[in-house]
Structure 1
Amino acid sequence: MTTRAERGRWDEEGAETIGPGVHRIPLPLPGDGLRAVNVYLLEEDDGVVMIDGGWALPRSRHVLETAMASLGHDLAEITQIFVTHIHRDHYTQAVALRRLLGSRVHLGAGERRGLELLLGEVRSNVPVTSLRVLRRGGAGDLADRLLKIQSYTGFDETDWEAPDNWIGAGVADLGRRALRVIPTPGHTRGHVVYLDEAAGLLFAGDHVLPHITPSIGFELADPGLPLADYLDSLRLVTGYPDARLLPAHGPVTGSVHARVAELLLHHDNRFAHTLRTLGTRTLDAYAVARQLTWTRRDIPFAGLDDFNQMLAINETAAHLDVLVARGRVTAVLDGGVTRYTRVDDAAP
């Protein structure tokens, strides 16, 4: 009998048992290309521990409640929620469940500044940091279009609250099992993964995904050099024993180390393609991104919608900025736009 994952239906509603006392539940996302977000339930002596919360939607809560009932559990048994990062599809339902149940919510300490900005001066669903990267990358018109669209989406401040506990590197003792908390900045500054070393399971959030590479530095706080952080974080997890990959999006797969090797190779190839695209010219990130292809299907830039064009330009800028840090490319800010030139000896 084939599993849902083997049929390519990892997002099918319901609970999938991964191992003793560990269950995966995909929760729906609203019109999102990611299809669903996985949350994981860990059975403990004093209740159920949840990894990631999902998006605070009535449909999502209903799917969660129904799946838990199929396992013989009730929402009220959720005692703690360990969140991998602050993005809405991971964090907001954790806040809602805490309000309903009194569960304790844990979030990486590196997310504090982003949450402070969201609840302070920003108070908007607009990805302002990404729009700044677009403008710096020469795509001001695209930034204007996205700002106009995003400004109409309502911001509900009740979706966002501080966690009960800001967590850093260490070990969380749950009772039956222990989770090693490993900070993995890159996707966001405060992203963490949770490693169950005894069971050989890595709850990877968006850090290591089985079929795609995550967006980099998609947050409000200044990400610095998010791609450099991300690559370092990928190498970091290979310093721990290999484990099964339990991702936030996609099916459970067999080896974290194998997938990390693929992701590192992907970015090495992307650096090479970026250098070849620059050639002997001086270009901004928008111009480079338009000449690259995107996703595993090699879609031309023009075939992406506005939101995914934003992600593509942001990723291109991230690669170019790392190449600058490595001395392979130079950068000059000209009229608010960064223009890149390959160093003569930077062979692709």
Structure 2
Amino acid sequence: MITVTAPAQFQAWQAKVMPPVEEIRPGVWSIPVPFIGNPMRYTLSYLLVGNGEAALVDPGWDSAEGWESLTAGLAAAGVAPQQITAIVVTHFHPDHLGMAARLREASGAPVALGEHEPLPAQWRGEPARFVVEDREQFAAWGVPAEFLDEVSFQTETWAQMTMVAEPQIRLVDGELLPVAGITVRVLSTPGHTPGHICLVDEANQLILTGDHVLPRITPHVSLEAQGQLNPLGDYFNSLEIMGAGADMEVLPAHEYRFLGLMDRVAELTEHTLERSREVIAVLDSGAAANVWEVSKELTWSRGFESLRGFTLRLALAETASHLVYLQKQGREVGIEVSRGTPTPARP
């Protein structure tokens, strides 16, 4: 059982409106940034103010509206964009990293990601070739021809993804953020992405969990990134180490703050294991011969038929992650699930 510690955020989430900017502890601010066109509605960015330096964690989805919200939040904290000295991103996804380039241009601050977080530019090879290989993978997963265009990457989508600039800093598990006057430690938590990180602020008894642990939603863990061999296994391992913040207030990147981290970790673990048990039941029934057919038999909140486009892609990749996990546990699944060998980038 979790305890909500941010009633204004909780009420805003229930009302489907933006929550307020809040000072959580002296020098620690929560700033919501709109996630346009997505049911999550916003990303919670966090400002950490030190001695003449400041870090901005997860600047959010890039848009003019988002930039207005972010700069207004900074102004409420008495900080101008030019005063930001580090831009820390918990993981690669655009609702976290998207505004980093704009903020870096305004502040000159370096962008920092976890040391193991891959960027598309690192394994893209020839864009046209990658698009072909991506489509072939979904075809191998049994996706009918009429759905292949909507679930696989197109050339223009891939080109946009590979335009993301390399971060200037790679954060290693256990190290402190390079910001004077704060003591915030990096905790490597792969699973949702290969290089996802959480941040532990022992002085303020806070843990920033990104998308690794959310109060209500189960984070998406999928066989999506090239070279990620067992994302679900990584996720379970990362949940086990969350005792580092067991009694701390949890600052997630979405929804609202809460206490009861280990209770929530137990819920997430059980929910995810139950999903694997559901996959096992489908395999045992003999009703599925590929990833597509397994996915169709699983329970989805609005039904499998409601899944389209990128949501359908994620559902298939999530199913594949469970099949890989079961394989690693020693179970014969009899289904092709490998994402294959990454296409090497040109030197």
Structure 1 residues 218 and 96, CA, compared in 2 at 3 Å: closer, same or farther?
farther
Residues matched between the structures, number: 332
Seq. identity, %? 31
Provide the aligned C-alpha RMSD in A: 3.1
Give the drift of 1:203: 0.9
| Letter paired with 1:100 | A
| Letter paired with 2:114 | G
Q: Is the 8 A contact 1:320 1:329 kept in 2?
A: no
Any idea what SS the aligned residue of 1:170 has?
A: coil
Q: Structure 1: 5+ residue runs without aligned partners?
A: 339-348
Any idea what SS the aligned residue of 2:116 has?
A: helix
| 2:74 counterpart (59, 68, 90) | 68
| 1:301 counterpart (300, 304, 329) | 304
Q: Is the 8 A contact 2:35 2:43 kept in 1?
A: yes
What CA distance in whole angstroms lies between the structure 2 residues aligned with 1:36 and 1:152?
26
The residue that corresponds to 2:168 in the other structure is 164
Structure 1 residues 332 and 251, CA, compared in 2 at 3 Å: closer, same or farther?
closer
| 1:272 counterpart (277, 282, 305) | 277
| 2:149 counterpart (145, 148, 173) | 145
Q: In the alignment, is residue 44 of structure 1 matched against residue 47 of structure 2? A: no
Question: Does 80-89 or 175-184 show the bigger shift?
Answer: 175-184
| 2:333 counterpart (330, 335, 339) | 330
Q: Is the 8 A contact 1:117 1:220 kept in 2?
A: no
Give the drift of 1:68: 1.8
Give the drift of 1:109: 1.2
Question: Does 201-210 or 306-315 show the bigger shift?
Answer: 306-315
| 1:317 counterpart (317, 320, 345) | 320
The residue that corresponds to 2:205 in the other structure is 200
Any idea what SS the aligned residue of 1:56 has?
A: coil
1:209-248 Cα distance to aligned partner (Å, 9 max, x none): 2221222246543211111111111112225543222111
Any idea what SS the aligned residue of 2:48 has?
A: strand
Give the drift of 1:304: 2.3
Give the drift of 1:327: 2.1
Superposed counterparts of 1:199-348, under 5 Å: 199-217=204-222, 219-281=224-286, 283-294=289-300, 298-333=301-336
Q: Is the 8 A contact 1:108 1:190 kept in 2?
A: yes
The residue that corresponds to 2:181 in the other structure is 176
| Letter paired with 1:262 | E
Give the drift of 1:17: 2.1
Give the drift of 1:102: 0.6
| TM-score relative to the length of structure 1 | 0.84
Give the drift of 1:62: 0.8
| TM-score relative to the length of structure 2 | 0.84
Give the drift of 1:15: 0.9
Q: Structure 2: 5+ residue runs without aligned partners?
A: 1-5, 341-347
Structure 1 residues 185 and 220, CA, compared in 2 at 3 Å: closer, same or farther?
same
Q: Is the 8 A contact 1:106 1:165 kept in 2?
A: yes
The residue that corresponds to 2:345 in the other structure is none
Give the drift of 1:123: 9.0
1:297-323 Cα distance to aligned partner (Å, 9 max, x none): x32111223322221121111112211
| Letter paired with 2:26 | P
Any idea what SS the aligned residue of 2:9 has?
A: coil
Higher strand share: 1
What CA distance in whole angstroms lies between the structure 2 residues aligned with 1:93 and 1:269?
36
The residue that corresponds to 1:341 in the other structure is none
Structure 1 residues 79 and 146, CA, compared in 2 at 3 Å: closer, same or farther?
same
| Letter paired with 2:306 | G
Higher-RCO chain (CA-CA 8 Å, sequence separation at least 6): 2
What CA distance in whole angstroms lies between the structure 2 residues aligned with 1:132 and 1:243?
45
